[in-house]
Amino acid sequence: MYKEALIEATNAGADELKRFFNEKFTISHKEGINNLVTEADFASDKAIRNVIKNTFPEHGIVSEESDEKVTNSEYKWIIDPIDGTVNFANGIPICCVSIGLEYKGNMLMGAVYNPLMNEFFFAEKNKGATLNGNKISVSDKTEVLKSCLVTGFPYTYLDHANGPLQVFSKLIKNGVPVRRFGSAAIDLCWVAAGRFDGFYEHQLHAWDSAAGFIIVEEAGGKVTNLKGEKYSPFQPGIIATNGRIHSDLQKIVAGELL
């Protein structure tokens, strides 16, 4: 029942993403110079919420584009109606709908769908992760210096020791390829699929990572906060890897290596 509702809601949001992509739509700004929200974000959010509310009216919803942030429900749907909005607004097809379902603080399942690339990632606790219905798994790289990584930067820069630019600089000065695609949800899924060996980011919101992090874990990967501790999407920093490079990447992010 939950899986069916999750898939229906994800498809509903993706229909709106496709409907607006490369069309004219209104754009407004949130905190930060290029922190955009578009007419399509709100349309996707509405379509997703309609499915959830019609199916589970008693469940709580946490969405990037909604004021309904706090709920007493044991079930919580964590929604990013369009992750990668800047990409979307500029006609770059690296963007997606991301929805995670949490129960009593534990992620049950997650879906990330980029309809522009026809990639639907899904994972359910203890049941593995899939891409378009086919099982996926993380890579087998064992060394950070031989890995391909991905990261993102916050809209409001964090000016502190071992911040995003400092870590990025250390890695690329040592010849490590580090990509930045502008969608944390897709970054996480591409770690799960073995395309990237690791992902780190200093500042995320719950809706950015809720679905993606369970997909990484169910694909055999490891996800922690920046200190290497148990991960919760309701705190900012994240490291997600194939597990084999996790300890070293965490130390690099913490300023203990390189």
pLDDT given at position 71 = 59
Is 3.60.15.10 the CATH classification of the domain at 144-253? no
Q: Tell the burial category of 79 from Cβ atoms under 10 Å away from its Cβ (0-12, 13-18, 19+).
A: buried
pLDDT in tens, the chain (258 residues): 999 999 999 999 999 999 999 998 898 877 666 778 899 999 999 999 999 999 999 999 999 987 665 557 899 999 999 999 999 999 999 999 999 999 999 999 999 999 999 999 999 999 999 999 999 999 999 999 999 999 999 877 667 788 999 999 999 999 999 999 999 999 999 999 999 999 999 999 999 999 999 999 999 999 999 999 999 999 999 999 999 999 999 999 999 998
pLDDT given at position 68 = 62
Q: CA 9 to CA 223: how far, in whole Å?
A: 26
Q: Which residues of 147-181 are buried (b: 16+ CB within 10 A; e: fewer)?
A: bbbbbbbeeeeeeeebebeebbebbeeeebebeeb
Nearest to 196 by CA among 215, 170, 169: 215
pLDDT given at position 32 = 62
Sign of CA dihedral 217, 66, 86, 254: negative
User: What is the CATH architecture assignment of 2-135?
Assistant: 2-Layer Sandwich (3.30)
pTM score: 0.96
pLDDT given at position 109 = 98
pLDDT given at position 33 = 67
**125 within 8 A of 108, measured Cβ to Cβ:** yes
Read off the pLDDT of residues 191-226 as tens digits, 9 standing for 90 and up.
999 999 999 999 999 999 999 999 999 999 999 999
Domain ranges of the chain: 2-135, 144-253
